[in-house]
Amino acid sequence: MPEYAPFTAPALHTTTAGLPQLDVADELSALLRETTTEPRPDPQLEALTLAVAADLPVLLWGEPGIGKTAALTQLAATLGLPLTTVIASVHEPSDFSGLPVVGDDPAAQGVPMAPPEWAVRLVRAGRGLLFLDELSTAPPAVQAALLRLVLERRVGSLRLPPGVRIVAAANPRSSAADGWELSPPLANRFVHLQWTHDHEVVVRGLGGTWPRATLPRLQPERLAEAVDFARRAVCGLLTARPALVHRLPSGETRRGGAWPSPRSWETALRLIAFATAADSSRDVLSLLVRGTVGDGPGLELLASVDRMDLPDPEDLLADPAAADLPERGDLRQAVLDAVVAAVRNRPQKSRWDAAWALLVHALETGAPDLVVVPATTLAALRREDWDVPASIEALAGVVSLSRRADQVAARSTPAAQAGR
C-alpha cells in the first residue's frame, strides 16, 4: 500500500508585524465601519422619527439598495432601542398569528397560541424597534396574519409592550422579487413614506458622516394647543368635504398605499398634533399627511391648515400699517382677497380706505403682481360719494402696467398662432 504523508494545516500568511492576514482584514473592515453622525436637516428622516415618536406604524417605500435598512439601524441605535428584524416574506402566517399549543384539558382551558421567539424577546426587553422587512414580497396569507400585529400589537397570545415601535419596509412591485400588492386593510394601517436618496447625504455618509436621527422636541406648553389645532384642521376639512371621510381607491396599486378612511384620518390628526407640538416644518408635515390619507386629500388638508394660520381680515382692516402678511405668495394672495371680500360684505368708507392702505403695505413688502387683482376688485366697490384716497396713487402704476402687459399678451397670441 502506498504511504501517505500525515495531514498538516497550511501555515497562515502573516504580515511583517506577525499578525495573520485575516486579522488584518478584520481590522480594516472595522475601520471602514467606523462612522459618525451630525445634525443635518432631512425631512424624510424627521418625518420617520416623528411618526415613531407618535407610536404609529410606518412603512418605508423605496427601491432596493437606497438605505432603508441602514436608516432603521441608525435610528434604533440613536434612540437606544434594540432592533429586531423580521423578514416577512420568509415567514408563515402562524409565525404572526401564533402556533396552537395543546394543553392538558383543551376543552376547559382552550388552546393557547404560542408566540415566536422574537416576540418573546421584545416583551422581555419591554421596548424595541420591530422592523418588518420585505413586506411587499409577503404573500396575502402572511399579510392577513400581520393585520393584528400592526393594529393591535398582538402576536399569538402575547401583546407587545407600549415601548415597542413598528416600522416596515417594502419595494415597489416593479422592483420586488415576486412582489405582491399590499392588501387594502394592511395598507390602511400604515403611515406610508416614500424613501429616496439624497446624493449629498450619500456622498457625505460614504465619507464617514451620516445624518443624525433624533426624537422631536415636543414643547410641553403647546400640547393642548396642538391637539386643538389638529382637531380643528381635520374636522373643518371633513365638515366641508364629507366625501373625503372614506374613499377606497379603485385601482389595486393605489389601494396598497395611503388612502382616506376614518382610521387614517385619526392617524393624520395625531400626526398634525405631534408636528405642531414639535414645530416641524411644512415639508415634514406634508410627507406625513400625504403618506396617511393620500396625495389628493392630503394636499386639501394642508391647504386647510394654511388657511387656519392666516390673519383675520377684520384685524388687518383695523390696523393696516401693523399688518404682518404671509411671505408665501399664495397665502398673501389669499389674505388680500379675504380682505377685499370682507369690505364687499360690509362696505363702509373707512373700511374701503383701510383696505387701500393694506394693499399699499403689501406692495411695499412683497411682490407687486399680487396686489393687481385685489386692487382692481376693490376699485370696483367704490361708491359715488366716496373720495379716492391718496394711497391709491401708489398702486395706479402697478395696475396700469399689468393691464398693458395683458393687452400686449392678448395681441401677440393671435399673431403667434397665425405664424404657425
Dihedral Cα 260, 152, 50, 224, nearest 10 deg:
80
pLDDT tens digits, one per residue of 123-164:
999 999 999 998 888 888 999 889 989 988 998 888 999 999
Copy the grid coordinates of residue 357: 392702505
3-state secondary structure of 381: coil
38-99+112-211: CATH topology: Rossmann fold (3.40.50)
Residue 243: pLDDT band (50, 70, 90) is very high
- Orientation angle between helical segments 329-345 and 349-365, nearest 10 degrees: 170
pLDDT tens digits, one per residue of 305-339:
888 778 888 889 998 888 888 888 878 888 888 88
Give me the mean pLDDT over the 40-63 stretch: 92
Query: Could you give the CA distance from residue 373 to residue 354 in angstroms, rounded to a whole number?
Result: 17
Given a cut of 50, whether residue 196 has pLDDT beyond it is: yes
Residue 57: pLDDT band (50, 70, 90) is very high
Residue with cell 457625505: 204
Given a cut of 90, whether residue 266 has pLDDT beyond it is: yes
Give me the mean pLDDT over the 43-65 stretch: 92
pLDDT tens digits, one per residue of 340-380:
989 999 999 999 889 988 988 888 888 888 888 888 888 88
Contact at 8 Å (CB) between 67 and 45?
A: no
Phi then psi for residue 14, to 5 deg, are -120, 160
Phi then psi for residue 277, to 5 deg, are -65, -30
Give the chain's end-to-end CA distance (angstroms, integer).
Answer: 99
Instruction: Give the pLDDT of residue 338.
Output: 87
Dihedral Cα 166, 172, 177, 182, nearest 10 deg:
60
Strands 127-133 and 158-159: unpaired
Give the count of alpha carbons within 13 A of 212, CB side only: 12
Strands 154-155 and 158-159: antiparallel
Eight-class DSSP state of 245: S
**Domain residue ranges in the chain:** 38-99+112-211, 220-308, 313-412
Contact at 8 Å (CB) between 268 and 238?
A: no
Handedness of CA 329, 331, 334, 339 (dihedral sign): negative
Is the whole-model pTM more than 0.95? Answer: no
